[in-house]
Amino acid sequence: MQSSNVQQISFVVVVVVVTAAFFWLLLPFFGAVLWAVILAILFNPLQRWLLGMFNGRRNLAAGLSVLACICIVVIPGSMILASLAQEATGLYHRISTREFDPGDIFSRIQEALPSFLRDLLPTFNLDSMGDIGQRLASFLGQASQIIASRALSIGQGTAQFFISLGVMLYVLFFLFRDGRSLAAQIRKTSPLSPHHTESILGKFSEVLQATVKGNVIIAIIQGAIGGVAFWLLGIKGALLWGVLMAMLSLVPAVGAFLVWGPAAAYLLLSGEYLRGAILLGVGMFVIGLIDNILRPPLVGKGTRLPDYVVLVSTLGGLSLFGVNGFVIGPLIAALFVAVWSLLAEDRNHRGV
C-alpha cells in the first residue's frame, strides 16, 4: 500500500512538472495560442454551420473558417496598423517641428480661463501649465515614435510577427477541426468532478466570448465614431486618435473620454465654440451613450462581474500581460469567482 501511494504521488509530480514545462515552452507564442483559442471560440458557430453544410468534412470546414478569420480579422487589422504607423509618424513630425506644440496650447488655455480660475491653479500646482504642456509634448513624441516604429515593423513584416501569425493560424485550423474532441478529452482527463469541470469550462467560454465580443464591439464602434468626428471637425491624426479611443474603451470607467474630453475642452477654450460643442455633444450623447447601452448586455451580462472588479482586473491584466491583458484579467477574475462559488456550493451541500 505504501509503495502504491509513493508511485501515485510520484506520477502526480511528474504530470505537474511536465505540464509546467510544456506551458513554459509555449511562452514565446503565448499570444498566438491565446488568440487562436479566442478566435476558435468566437467563430465556432460559423465552423458548426460550415460543418453541416459540407456534410461533416472537417478539413474543408476548418480551412474556410480560418479563411474567414483572415478576411475579417487579420487583413483589416494589418491595414489599420499600416495606416496607424503613418498617422503616428506624422504626429511625431509635427511635434518635432513644433507644428503641434502642447506647451503653447496649455498656455493659451491658461490665458483663456477666467481670472478666478487662474488664481486657483497654484493651489493644484498648475501655475505653470506651459511646463505641463512641454512634458506632454515629450510624452506624446516618445509614444508616437514607439507606436510608429512598432506598427511600421508589423506592417512591413518582421520574422517574429509572421512566425506568430503562422502559429496562430496553424493552431486555429486544428482547433476548428478537432475542437470537439479536444474539449471531450479535457473533460475526460480532468481531475475535477464532472460538475466542476463543466462549470469551469462553461465559465471560461462564456467570459471569453463576453469579454472579447463585448469589449471589441464597443471599442470598434466608439473608436470609429470618435475618429470620424475628429476627421469631420478637421482635427489632424483622426485615425490615430480613433484607435487610441478604441483602445481606451477597453478599460471600463475610463474609456474614450480621455481623448475626446480634452480635445473638446481645448476647442471651447480656444474660441472654437461650434466645433467644441459638436465634439462635446458627440462624446456625451453618442460615444458615452453607446458605452452605457451596449456594455451591460454584451459584457456585464456575460461575465456577471461588478464594474469595479472588471475595471481592476482589466487594468491589472493590461499591466501584467500587455494588450492580451484585457482578456486575461477579467477571465482570471471570473474564474476566481466561479471557483469560490463552487466551493461555497459544495460546503452548503455538505452542510458545513
Kindly tell me the burial class for residue 22, based on how many C-beta atoms sit within 10 Å of its own C-beta (0-12, 13-18, 19 or more). exposed
User: In terms of domains, do 172 and 307 share one?
Assistant: no
Q: Is the dihedral of CA 331, 337, 338, 340 positive or negative?
A: positive
Domain boundary among 129, 157, 189: 189
In a domain, 210, yes or no: yes
As given in the structure block, the three cell numbers for residue 76 are: 483589416
In a domain, 199, yes or no: yes
User: In terms of domains, do 206 and 185 share one?
Assistant: no
Structural contact between residues 294 and 218, judged by C-beta atoms closer than 8 angstroms: yes
Confidence at residue 23, expressed as pLDDT on a 0 to 100 scale: 85
Residues whose CB falls within 8 Å of the CB of residue 315, separated by 6 or more in sequence, listed in order = 251, 329
Question: 101: phi > 0 → left, psi -120 to 50 → alpha, else beta; which?
Answer: beta
Number of domains in the chain: 2
Q: For residues 249 and 223, give the distance between their C-alpha atoms in angstroms, rounded to a whole number.
A: 8
User: In terms of domains, do 286 and 162 share one?
Assistant: no
Domain boundary among 130, 164, 189: 189
Q: For residues 256 and 248, give the distance between their C-alpha atoms in angstroms, rounded to a whole number.
A: 5
User: In terms of domains, do 159 and 278 share one?
Assistant: no
In a domain, 4, yes or no: no
Q: For residues 248 and 217, give the distance between their C-alpha atoms in angstroms, rounded to a whole number.
A: 13
pLDDT by 10s per residue, the chain, length 352: 466 677 778 887 888 898 889 888 888 888 888 889 888 888 888 999 999 888 888 999 999 999 999 998 888 877 777 666 666 666 666 656 665 555 566 666 666 666 666 665 566 555 555 555 555 555 555 555 555 555 555 545 566 777 888 899 999 999 999 888 888 888 888 777 787 788 778 777 777 777 777 777 888 888 889 889 999 988 877 887 888 888 777 776 667 887 888 788 778 777 788 888 998 899 888 888 887 777 667 665 555 667 677 778 878 887 888 777 877 887 788 788 778 877 787 777 766 5
Enclosing domain of residue 338: 192-342
Structural contact between residues 174 and 39, judged by C-beta atoms closer than 8 angstroms: no
